[in-house]
Amino acid sequence: MSSSLDSPTIPNATHTINVGVLGATGTVGQRFITLLSAHPWFKIHVLGASPRSAGKRYGEVVKWKQVLPIPVGVGEMVVRECKVDEGWRDCQIVFSGLDADVAGPIEESFRASDLAVFSNSKNYRRNPHVPLIVPLVNPSHLSIIPQQRLLHTPPLQKGFIVTNANCSTTGYVIPLCALEKAFGPIESVLVTTMQAISGAGYPGVSALDIMDNVIPYISGEEEKIEWETLKILGGIAESDAGVKTFDMHAKHPLRVSASCNRVPVIDGHTECVSVRFKRRPPPSPQQVREAFSAFTPDCQALGAPSAPRRAIVVHEEADRPQPRLDRYFQDGAGVSVGRVRQCQVLDVKFVVLANNVSIGAATSSIINAEIAVLKGIVG
């Protein structure tokens, strides 16, 4: 993992933090394990999977699909069910890579047991009290957690759920955030995605469907992008009664139109983006390039150890970014942008590449947890 600072200390802690992984045998769970095994703060304490895997050694039950081998010691760990017991209660943080069809009640049971859950699943992204966080964009939304705890029945002292965004949303909201920070509100966005097959999980899309082919439909994906963008880039409003809500970018309405395609690439989502600014005249392509290069997310200043040194890498070459060449830069923790140019329909257009299994999934959850530790929300 790349580091923005050299091994920052954990606030209010004198030892490593025990963490657990739900859905540990799945593709996202494996990525969590790969990243966490080398983490300076977090120690893998519990691995959770289905009842048929529980009670067995992790190395016996997992179909390991990562480039690196199973980390030393992890293969010998005994898998537990995804039910709260003493082993799970010894964890300060639980990461969830569960499939959406089972994630909802399991994650809620862990939150209800006063555990901090950082989820890659979609189940709670639309919950009005659960923050949907891309760590390079909107960690300020963690401020709603005290309200989430208070409104839970019964109220919680430590437990909460934080979700990270859909992988395709994550990639392009990072440059959008940089643009709004530099030039003010964006009015309209057109985004066309070319999404890697790993985004469909394992075993994923049939070879007969994807080889020599592009599939111009991914169920529910376009709606996710269009809705999640508003929650992530919007702010938090507070009523006279002190109740906080996500404003969905309502102060400056933002229209998003997404078209999503599955392409025969293993890892790395490529997205073609066009934007129109409220500001007139709009910024020039050169000003946009400079804003991308200058963008510094809060997690870097906080010292989150998994944050990329460069949130947005700007390519000057006419044929970059490319998945095969750019997806693993900084361990996939940042995004790559290129082909920044004037748009004849809107204002400016560009291409962004994000590693969907890193910043688009497990890496986001881990950085979110690091931020929560640094802010004293977990500890």
Provide the token pair at 301.
């200043």
Active-site residue, selected from the candidate residues 167, 177, 260, 299: 167
Q: Which two tokens stand for residue 112?
A: 């209800």
Instruction: Confirm if 85 and 67 have CB atoms less than 8 A apart.
Output: no
At 375 the three-state DSSP class reads coil
From the centroid of its chain, how far is CA 157? 25
Q: Render 288-299 in DSSP notation, one character per residue.
A: HHHHHHH---HH
Catalytic residue among 249, 269, 299, 315: 269
Residue 227: its H or E element: helix 221-233
Phi first, then psi, for residue 34 (nearest 5°) are -60, -45
- Phi and psi based region of residue 332 (left: phi greater than 0; alpha: psi -120 to 50; beta: remaining): left
User: How many Å is the Cα radius of gyration of the chain?
Assistant: 20
Q: Is the peptide bond before 154 cis (omega within 30 degrees of 0)?
A: yes
Rounded Cα distance between 11 and 374, Å, is 6
Q: Are 255 and 217 in contact (CB under 8 A)?
A: no
* 29 Cβ contact list (under 8 Å, min separation 6): 21, 22, 23, 47, 49, 97
The neighbouring-strand residues paired with 189 are 256, 275
Q: For residue 269, indicate whether it is catalytic.
A: yes
- Interhelix angle 167-183/221-233, nearest 10 degrees: 40
Q: How far apart are CA 225 and CA 55, in angstroms?
A: 39
Omega before 203 cis (within 30°)?
A: yes
Does the bond joining 281 to the residue before it have cis omega, within 30 degrees of 0?
Answer: yes
Beta-strand runs (E) in the chain? 17-22, 42-49, 80-81, 93-96, 116-119, 160-163, 186-195, 236-238, 244-246, 255-262, 269-277, 312-314, 335-342, 348-354
DSSP 361: I
Query: Around Cβ 241, how many Cβ atoms within 10 Å?
Result: 5
Q: Would you name the residues annotated as active-site residues?
A: 167, 269
